[in-house]
Structure 1
Amino acid sequence: MTHPWRFDGFPGRVLWVDLTAGTCEARDIPHEWCIQHMGGKALATKLLVEWDTTDYEAATANQHPITGRMDAASHPSTPLLFMTGPYQGTKVGSSGRAVVVTRSPLTECYIDTYIGGNIGHDLRKAGWDGLFITGASESWVRLEINDASATLHPADDLVGKTTWEVEQALDDLGECLSIGPAGENGIRIASPLTAGRRAAGRGGTGASFGFKRLKAFTVKASKEAAAAMRYAEEFSMADAIKEQRKEMGKRRKYGDPFYAFGTSRGPIYAAENGRMPTANYTSTDAQIPDLSALKVGGGAGGQTAEAVAGGASAVTVVSAMDTHELSGEHWHESLPDAKQSGCCAPCPIACEAADRPTVDGVKMRGRPVHVNRVDRPEYETLAMLGANLGIGSSLDVMDGNDAANRLGIDTISGGAALSFMCEAAQRGWLPEGWADHFHARLTSGPTERATSCRGRLAFPNCRRSPLHLLAHATPGTALCLAP
């Protein structure tokens, strides 16, 4: 259908996917909705309000496996939306973000979580504003989008594969978004990923894909389909885009560190301004305290948590982290062969960087990428899988980030959950025997233990075990540990 108003930058349709029925169809979006709700989160919310037919009275019959609360997020008819913004598919810089909107498996509330890479741009170029996914398949499936056509295919052969392995298997089908083992197992801190490293990280939306048994979707846009689209930039944005790129070129020329290091230089700034989460937020300036002094009940030389809150003597600082070693600058110093590796379309900043041990290996996204390629972590990951766990090296964090990406685990919630349990172990709050699962001292470099736990978070096979609780994040864990 031809829309005379698509000069506003909207194709004016979404792909409606009913996984229960196994069908895909195009649905037109009323013009006024697109104009009043300018794409992305706003348009997704409007579609939820108008099109969500979930009977949430019935949905409350499902119970969260840890908390026992209502669990509407896992209800088959709970919608899962993947939406693009109004500038997706254009040359407007830094517009390469799409959004996943649904009911969060982690919080049971509305969640909008954003993802980079190229998949949002290709979806728009193929002629879609987004996906509206409902129902749940009886078996694992994948969705294949090729311009205006969309089909569901069996995906049993992809079950158990990491996000990297799925992308390699589906490389010929265009851009890919997939979940790893964490999402398959309904882990409430799971994330879907694209391009091997770009995650819709927050709210556990990887579990939403898992509840629906949708392992992945791919998008391929032909040149003909892209050429048929008309965008706002063609008559109003060309000059602005030129000015934007000119300004960014000046900043790059004069050595703005953001262009070289992206957000990975953040640990230095965060520590200087008292905002660096350290040892489960017991400190915010990269100073690691002696948490044993905070053990409930006190002890020789110790004090209760209540006493500390009331102004007792300061806790001894055991060690101070070198935030330079945790930063992207140190990462590049340690890996001299690492290079800037691209950007989210069509961002001119290009702050990605990766270390590739060899030039041989698997071909992904049109360029050779080694299967063991590892990417420079972003600030949030350096903070939550680094200083927050008492780990002070960007190289150690890099390994954890790579494992989390492959398994499909949110590095922010994952780091928070691990640090919470480490502190609980040190304070003596864990049931007998549980402390053996965790490093009891955050101050002695828990890299090895944290890495082991991260991998096992995606496969929690014992209910109410420490790792099963952590897999459902900090709030559920705290509820179960409370007296």
Structure 2
Amino acid sequence: MYSYTGKILRIDLSRDKISEESLNEKDARKFIGGKGLGAKLLFDNMDPRTDPLSPDNPLILCTGPLTGSSAPTSGRWCVVTKSPLTSLYLDSHVGGYFGAEMKKSGHDIIIIKGKANSPVYISINDNDVQIKEANHLWGKNTTATEEALKEEGRVLSIGVAGEKMVRFACINTDLFVHNGRGGNVGRGGAGAVMGSKNVKAVVIKGSHKMEYSDEQKFRDAVKKALTMINENSFIPTRRKYGTPIWVNPVNENQLLPTYNFSRGSFEKADNISGETMHDTIVVKNKSCFNCPIACGKWTRFEFNGKQYEFEGPEYESIALLGSNCGNETIQGTAYVSYLCDEYGLDTISAGNVVGFAIEAVKKNLIDEKVDFNDPKTQGELIRKIAYREGIGSDLAEGVKRFSEKYGGTEYAIQSKGMEFPGYDPRGAFGMALAYATSDRGACHQRVWTVRAEMQGDLAPRYGIEGRAEFVKENQDERACCYSLVLCDFAPLSVDMFVELLNTATGFQYSAEEYLKTGERIWNLTKMFNVKNGVTRKDETIPKRILEEPLEKDEAYIGRENFEQMLSEYYTLRGWDENGVPTTETLKELNLEGFA
């Protein structure tokens, strides 16, 4: 198999057993890799109704055929598992260098099942795979863990939040060590799954080289892709400012989460913008493996008399831990984001949880010392969440579970249990549908309508026309990109993705078949969720977002508009009125065995 290693590594912690098997070529052709192949393997290796924190829930590390290749942005890979936050399907993507090193080690996929009797870390050096004792690492946070293991290879690890099984704990990779960019397997609580298995880290090193179906044609395709990226007019801006460049335009268009999504614009937005960040705390750019964009930012700043440095914050962290928590300085915002990285917490969910907690305090639902624009008390609350101390233990369950216990469900900003990212749907109605229908809960990466709505490509500005079709088509295309696996920041056409895939693997996809594969993958993950009881009633958004207008009266969605978009979307998908794929749709997509 060209561009694949052709191997799956299995690690059974309960039996202390390590084995290898061949990658099924038919499955690779049908689901590509990454998200798609990971979803298929999740079905193969568990009952979908399994408790996410059970030893039987596999943690699947997935590369794609283009991961680690010379294709631009090929440092991407993903973790697939059942989410402890949503109890649904989860794939969480990350860049950096770990995925490329995993491919070099000779493995396309690593499946970790079971539970070790005591803390361990997994060491992989080509075919030398060992399960090693990690008592000396347990209790350490990200920096200390990476420092202890960096000489052995690329490091994938959890912080104390993962050990304590915080439901939105992330997995970090090379955040504070090694040259090049690190990253977070951020959303959905994969860190809690890793912690539930008593796995502190995976360290990997490899020496294998990739082989391509047609070396020269693949080189030509790579050259064409690089030209496409370098000629894109937005790339210099993204390279200079990174994702935080979106703070000001998103704020101006009433999309910036502010004070727990009670407003869509923040009066101090410029203080936490990409421009301000660039001028005050950015030290240098950082790039993922084989990426010409280099949008990562290494920052150095002072807060409360102490110096800090780390990689970030990204736009999402600024939106949720900045404006959503009322923080008026980039230094204060960076501080709470830094703490999340150290403890191993998803910054998006953490910002929602802290914002909700502050509002809950103001409405006398809970008694806790925390306030808007107070990074110091917010940081202490984040510590309590990570260590599950006091009220932090309940907040560690996420806003859905917390609000069901303490009240305030109408302003617990989540869908299917996952907290909202950094775009208020009242400023871009298509995002309401995107969040509600995302296969992993509220997510901006499965489809992003924001730019199209702000620029008028989807009109009227505050309307629902064309949103269902846009969401469906982009979900299918993203499902393919996340299976290759390449970065969604790469401004490449579908034809370009297909050319890279075909010349690397020897497959003969047409653009139409490629997108049909994305549709197949999307329906596969949908069926995993259907088997966990998801129907139309679950694919919704909170009352605050549906029924409360923003500062501009026209920034009001309304339940009727939302339900109309959802019905149109289900029709386009070939799903019934409850959001379940029909028998005919599954047959058309060759998914009959997953009904």
TM over 0.5: yes
Change (3 A) 1:200 1:481: same
For residue 10 of structure 1, what is the aligned residue in structure 2?
4
Shift of 1:373: 2.8
Q: How many residues align?
A: 398
TM superposition outliers: structure 1 runs of 4+ over 6 Å: none
- Answering whether residue 253 of structure 2 is matched by residue 280 of structure 1, we say no
Structure 1 residue 241, shift from structure 2 partner: 1.4
Q: How much does 1:89 deviate?
A: 1.3
Corresponding residue of 1:114 = 93
SS of residue paired to 1:47: helix
Check if 1:165 corresponds to 2:111.
no
Match of 1:339? 284
- Choose from 191, 200, 206 the match for 1:221: 206
Out of 273, 296, 299, the position equivalent to 1:355 is 299
In structure 2, the partner of 1:454 is 382
8 A contact 1:143–1:150 mirrored in 2: yes
Mapping of 1:310-389 within 5 angstroms?
A: 320-321=267-268, 323-335=269-281, 338-340=283-285, 342-355=286-299, 372-389=308-325
Paired residue type of 1:355? T
1:437 aligns with 2:369: yes
Amino acid corresponding to residue 212 of structure 2 in structure 1? Y
Write the distance in 2 (CA, Å) between the matches of 1:124 and 1:351.
23
Of the three residues 17, 21, 32, the one matched with 2:15 is 21
Cα-to-partner distance string for 1:205-225 (whole Å, 9 max, x where unaligned): 100000000100011012xx2
CA displacement, residues 186-236 of structure 1 (integer Å, 9 cap, x when unaligned): 1111000002151111111100000000100011012xx22xx31357243
Q: Once the 2 structures are TM-superposed, how far is the Cα of residue 376 of structure 1 from its aligned partner?
A: 2.8
Distance 2:44 2:284 in 1: 47
Task: Give the corresponding residue for 2:27.
Answer: 33
CA–CA distance in structure 1, aligned partners of residues 98 and 165 of structure 2: 24
Q: Does 1:192 align with 2:186?
A: no
Give secondary structure in 2 for the equivalent of 1:404: helix
Is 1:126 aligned to residue 120 of structure 2?
A: no
| CA apart distance, 1:47 | 1.4
Matched, 1:482 2:407: yes
Letter in 2 for 1:263: T
Q: Check conservation: 2:34, 2:64, Cα contact below 8 A.
A: yes
Deviation at 1:29, TM superposition (A): 1.7
Structure 1 counterpart of 2:251: 271
Q: Which amino acid aligns with 1:144?
A: S
Native 8 Å contact 2:281 2:300 kept in 1? no
Indicate the SS of the match to 1:373.
strand
In the other structure, the counterpart of 1:203 is 188
Distance 2:17 2:387 in 1: 31
Q: Distance in 2 between matches of 1:256 and 1:131?
A: 36
CA-to-partner distance for each residue in 1:276-297, whole Å, 9 max, x for gaps? Answer: 00000001122xxxxxxxxxxx
Contact 1:106 1:189 in 2 (8 A): yes
Q: Is residue 238 from structure 1 mapped to residue 219 from structure 2 by the alignment?
A: yes
Q: Is the 8 A contact 1:135 1:212 kept in 2?
A: yes
| Partner Cα separation in structure 2 for residue 386 and residue 356 of structure 1 | 17
Deviations 1:12-61 (A, max 9, x none): 21110001011211111221111111000110111122233x595xx5xx
Q: Aligned match of 1:420 in 356, 360, 363?
A: 356
- Is this contact kept in 2: 1:88–1:120, CA < 8 A? yes
* Residue type of the alignment partner of 1:339: K
- Residue 232 to residue 415, structure 1, CA distance change in 2 (3 Å): farther
Question: Normalising by the residue count of structure 2, what TM-score does the alignment of the two structures yield?
Answer: 0.64
Check the 8 A contact 1:90/1:233 in 2, yes or no: no
Paired position in structure 2 for 1:90: 69
Alpha-carbon distance between aligned partners in 1 of 2:127 and 2:143, rounded to the nearest angstrom: 27
User: Which residue of 1 is the match for residue 334 of structure 2?
Assistant: 398
Q: How far has the Cα of 1:375 moved from its partner?
A: 2.3
- 1:74 deviates by 1.1
The offset of 1:132, in angstroms, is 0.7
Task: Please tell me whether the aligned partners of residues 191 and 202 of structure 1 are also in contact (alpha carbons under 8 angstroms).
Answer: yes
**Counterpart residue type for residue 268 of structure 1:** N
Is the 8 Å Cα contact of residues 45 and 58 (structure 2) preserved in structure 1? no
Q: Which amino acid aligns with 2:89?
A: Y
1:72-121 per-position Cα deviation (integer Å, ceiling 9, x unaligned): 01111111101012201101112221111111011111111111110001
Alpha-carbon distance in structure 1 between the residues aligned to 2:122 and 2:184: 18
Report the 3-state secondary structure (helix = DSSP H, G, I; strand = E; otherwise coil) of the residue aligned with 1:17: strand
Post-superposition offset of 1:372 = 4.8
After superposition, the C-alpha distances for 1:376-409 in whole angstroms (9 at most, x for unaligned) are 3111000000000001222211111111111100
Deviation at 1:273, TM superposition (A): 1.6
Offset of residue 328 of structure 1: 2.2
Q: Distance in 2 between matches of 1:461 and 1:278?
A: 27
Counterpart in the other structure of 2:197: 212
Residue 305 (structure 1) aligns with? none
What's the CA shift string for 1:289-344, capped at 9, x where partnerless? Answer: xxxxxxxxxxxxxxxxxxxxxxxxxxxxxxx22x22111221121237x122x211
- Structure of larger gyration radius: 1
Higher mean alpha-carbon deviation, 40-49 vs 378-387, is at 40-49
Q: Secondary structure at the match of 1:347?
A: coil
Partners of 1:262 and 1:74 in 2: CA distance: 35
AA at the equivalent of 1:380: E
- The one-letter code sitting in structure 1 at the alignment partner of 2:188 is G
Letter in 1 for 2:294: A
Contact 1:174-1:219 at 8 Å conserved across structures: yes
Q: Do the aligned partners of 2:325 and 2:355 also contact (CA within 8 Å) in 1?
A: yes
- Could you tell me which amino acid in structure 1 is paired with residue 288 of structure 2? C
Separation in 2, partners of 1:410, 1:452: 16
Identity %: 30
In structure 1, the gaps of 5 or more residues are: 1-5, 60-71, 287-319, 358-370
Instruction: Report the 3-state secondary structure (helix = DSSP H, G, I; strand = E; otherwise coil) of the residue aligned with 2:271.
Output: coil
* C-alpha distance in structure 2 between counterparts of 1:233 and 1:446, whole Å: 57
Q: Distance in 2 between matches of 1:479 and 1:353?
A: 38
